[in-house]
C-alpha cells in the first residue's frame, strides 16, 4: 500500500474529526485517481494529464489558448506544451493562429481527437459508476450534498 493510499490508516480516536475526514477524502480521491490512471493506460495507452487536456478542449470546441489551458489544468505552461506536442504528433489536436491575437495559438481537437476522446470519456464514466456502485443512489446524493456544502464553505473562506 502506498503512503498516499494509506493516509487514513494511521488515524486513531485521538485525532480531531476534521483531520480524520480530510485524510479519508484524500485517501478516497487517491484511490479513484489511481484506478483511472491505470485504466487509461491499460485500455487507451494514454495518461490522465492527456485525458484532462483533451477534456478541456472538448468543452471548448472553438479552441483554447495555451495559457488558458495551463490555468484550467492548474499546471505550468511547459507541462501543457509537452502534452500538446505529443497529442499534435499523434494527430489528435492542432494549433491554429488565434485571429483575435496573432501572437497566440488556439489549440483544438481534430476530428480523430474528438472521436478518441468520446471513447475515453464513455469508458471513464463507466469506471466511475462502477467505483461508486457500492453506495446507493441515496448515499451518493447525500455525499454529494455534503461535499457541495464543504466546497461552498471553503470557497467563501479562501481568498
- Grid coordinates representing 1 are 500500500
Examine residue 148 and state whether it is found in any structural domain, yes or no: no
Residues 48, 40: Cα–Cα separation, whole Å: 7
Contacts of residue 44, defined as CB under 8 A and 6 or more positions apart, other chains included, come to 116, 119, 120, 123
Instruction: State how many domains the chain has.
Output: 1
pLDDT in tens, 28-74: 999 999 999 999 999 999 999 999 999 999 999 999 999 999 999 99
DSSP 157: H
Angle at 70 between CA 64 and CA 75, to 5 degrees: 155
* Residue 106 within a domain: yes
pLDDT attached to residue 142: 98
> Containing domain of residue 104, as a range?
47-116
CATH, residue 106: 1.10.10.10
Please report whether residue 57 resides in a domain. Answer: yes
Cα-to-chain-centroid distance, residue 47: 11
Q: Is residue 70 part of a domain?
A: yes
pLDDT (tens, 9 = 90+) of the chain, 159 residues, equals 454 446 656 666 666 888 889 999 999 999 999 999 999 999 999 999 999 999 999 999 999 999 999 999 999 888 999 999 999 999 999 999 888 888 888 999 999 999 999 999 999 999 999 999 999 999 999 999 999 999 999 998 766
User: To which residue does cell 489549440 refer?
Assistant: 107
Amino acid at each position: 500500500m502506498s503512503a498516499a493510499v494509506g493516509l487514513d490508516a494511521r488515524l486513531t480516536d485521538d485525532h480531531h474529526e476534521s483531520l480524520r475526514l480530510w485524510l479519508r477524502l484524500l485517501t478516497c480521491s487517491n484511490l479513484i485517481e489511481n484506478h483511472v490512471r491505470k485504466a487509461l493506460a491499460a485500455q487507451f495507452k494514454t495518461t490522465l494529464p492527456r485525458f484532462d487536456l483533451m477534456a478541456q478542449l472538448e468543452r471548448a470546441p472553438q479552441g483554447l489558448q495555451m495559457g488558458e489551458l495551463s490555468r484550467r489544468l492548474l499546471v505550468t505552461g511547459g507541462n501543457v506544451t509537452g502534452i500538446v506536442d505529443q497529442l499534435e504528433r499523434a494527430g489528435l489536436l492542432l494549433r491554429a493562429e488565434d485571429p483575435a491575437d496573432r501572437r497566440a495559438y488556439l489549440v483544438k481537437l481534430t476530428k480523430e481527437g474528438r472521436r478518441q476522446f468520446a471513447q475515453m470519456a464513455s469508458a471513464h464514466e463507466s469506471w466511475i459508476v462502477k467505483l461508486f456502485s457500492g453506495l446507493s443512489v441515496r448515499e451518493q446524493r447525500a455525499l454529494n450534498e455534503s461535499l457541495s456544502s464543504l466546497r461552498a464553505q471553503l470557497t467563501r473562506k479562501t481568498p
